């Protein structure tokens, strides 16, 4: 069993229909939460996932819309008497700042606190985050305002690959990471420094040779029809807007 669900699809400002961008990746062996801006407990519960069944947390970068609810998530796990270790994967920059954030709450002195393992990712090379017979998850640094990684999820039994760029401006590593993927989940907040416009997203998708492009973390002030048409100027494959609860693999 492998399932990939977009729990949140909004950019930095959520709305009643969209939480901040975060994803849920499930296999028979792991439950992986990718980013943690909005508090994910309610959505995980709706998805039938106990927070204490989450095995791994991958934080793509240290911006509040991607990490802001991490202290609350860890506190809720602790309150629910978690005992199993939680593995948190991220760049050294990200992990250092997570430790500092958690130290504000004196978390290491919480009575009977469960173990937390901090697992660093390379800030210069492609890194294997997790691998087994169901999933190969790799990271690669991309180009944002702070150190950031994008993620490639390969499902060998299904011969299916999904790439999530996280926040980034166009760069060679996005093309490398997404090369030949079935689905590219590409942020499309605009062409400001550190971000990607829908037009640029289409160009990246075409260059990477992906089959399907999903725009995420996009500006809701721009009509969706325009965003899709902009992306389709360079990309001839299927273009969609990400939605909360969109299931990409089931």
**pLDDT for 249:** 86
Residue 250 has pLDDT above 90, yes or no: no
- Among candidate residues 182, 184, 183, the one with its CA nearest the CA of residue 174: 184
Place of tokens 């500006």: 219
Closest to 73 measured CA to CA, from 46, 116, 36: 36
Sheet holding 3-8, edge to edge: 116-121, 86-91, 56-58, 31-34, 22-26, 3-8, 246-249
| Residues 61-116: tens digit of each pLDDT | 999 999 999 999 999 999 999 999 999 999 999 999 999 999 999 998 999 999 99
Measure the CA dihedral 225/34/59/69, to 10°. 90
Range of the domain at 28: 3-249
- What do you get for the CA distance between the two ends of the chain, in Å? 7
What integer pLDDT is reported at residue 73 of this predicted model?
Answer: 97
> b vs e for 228-247, b when ≥16 Cβ sit within 10 Å of the residue's Cβ?
bebbbeebebebbbbebebe
Nearest to 48 by CA among 88, 5, 81: 5
Q: What pLDDT is stored for residue 38 in this prediction?
A: 87
CATH of the domain at 93: 3.60.15.10
E-strand stretches of 81-200: 86-91, 116-121, 127-131, 136-142, 148-155, 160-164, 183-187
**What mean pLDDT comes out for the span 156-178?**
98
Pairing outcome for strands 31-34 and 56-58: parallel
Q: What is the dihedral of CA 167, 171, 175, 177, to 10 degrees?
A: -50
- Whole-number pLDDT of residue 244: 98
Q: How many domains does the chain have?
A: 1
Q: Mean pLDDT of all residues in the chain?
A: 97
What pTM value is reported for the model? 0.96
Instruction: Give the pLDDT mean for 25-45.
Output: 95
On the 0-12 / 13-18 / 19+ scale of CB atoms within 10 A, 23 is buried
Token pair listed for 72: 């609350």
DSSP structural state of residue 210: -
Res 1: pLDDT: 80
What's the pLDDT band for 119 if we cut at 50, 70, 90? very high
Q: pLDDT by residue (tens digit) across 219-240?
A: 999 999 999 999 999 999 999 9
């Amino acid at each position: 069993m492998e399932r990939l669900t977009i729990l949140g699809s909004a950019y930095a400002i959520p709305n009643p229909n969209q939480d901040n961008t975060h994803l849920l990746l499930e296999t028979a062996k792991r439950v992986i939460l990718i980013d943690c801006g909005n508090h994910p407990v309610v959505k995980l519960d709706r998805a039938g996932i106990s927070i204490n069944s989450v095995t791994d947390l991958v934080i793509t970068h240290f911006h509040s819309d991607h990490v802001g609810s991490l202290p609350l998530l860890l506190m809720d796990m602790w309150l629910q008497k978690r005992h199993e270790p939680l593995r948190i994967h991220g760049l050294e920059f990200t992990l250092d700042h997570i430790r500092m954030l958690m130290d504000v709450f004196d978390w290491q002195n919480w009575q009977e606190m469960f173990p937390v393992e901090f697992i660093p990712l390379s800030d210069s090379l492609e890194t294997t985050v997790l691998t087994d017979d169901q999933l190969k998850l790799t990271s690669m640094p991309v180009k944002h305002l702070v150190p950031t990684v994008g993620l490639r999820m390969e499902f060998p039994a299904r011969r299916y690959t999904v790439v999530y760029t996280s926040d980034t401006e166009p760069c060679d590593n996005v093309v490398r990471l997404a090369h030949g993927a079935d689905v590219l989940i590409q942020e499309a907040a605009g062409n400001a420094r550190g971000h990607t416009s829908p037009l640029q997203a289409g160009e990246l998708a075409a260059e990477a040779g992906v089959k399907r492009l999903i725009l995420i973390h996009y500006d809701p002030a721009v009509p969706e029809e325009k965003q899709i048409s902009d992306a389709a100027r360079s990309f001839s494959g299927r273009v969609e807007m990400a939605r909360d609860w969109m299931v990409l693999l089931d």
